[in-house]
Amino acid sequence: MSTTAPAFAHRFEPAADPARPPLLLLHGTGGDENDLLGLGRLVAPGAALLSPRGQVLENGMPRFFRRLAEGVFDEEDLRARTDDLAAFIRDAQARHGIAAPVALGFSNGANIAAALLLRHPGLLRGAALLRAMVPFRDPPAARLDGTRVLLLSGASDPIVPAENSARLAAILQAAGATVKHHDLPLGHGLSQMDVALARDWLAALPENAP
- 167-208 pLDDT, tens digit per residue, is 999 999 999 999 999 999 999 999 999 999 999 999 999 887
- Point out the residues that are catalytic: 107, 157, 188
What integer pLDDT is reported at residue 1 of this predicted model? 38
What integer pLDDT is reported at residue 70 of this predicted model? 84
CATH fold, domain 10-203, is Rossmann fold (3.40.50)
pTM of the model: 0.95
What integer pLDDT is reported at residue 80 of this predicted model? 97
Count of other CB atoms within 10 angstroms of residue 16: 11
Calpha distance 83→199 (Å, rounded): 28
Answer yes or no: are the C-beta atoms of 132 and 110 closer than 8 Å: yes
What is the SS3 assignment for 185?
coil
Query: Where do the domains of the chain lie?
Result: 10-203
Which tens digits make up the pLDDT trace of 116-142?
Answer: 999 999 999 999 999 999 999 999 999
Residues contacting 207, CB < 8 A, separation 6+: 19, 20, 21
Which tens digits make up the pLDDT trace of 45-102?
Answer: 999 999 999 999 999 999 999 999 888 999 999 999 999 999 999 999 999 999 999 9
Calpha distance 135→107 (Å, rounded): 11
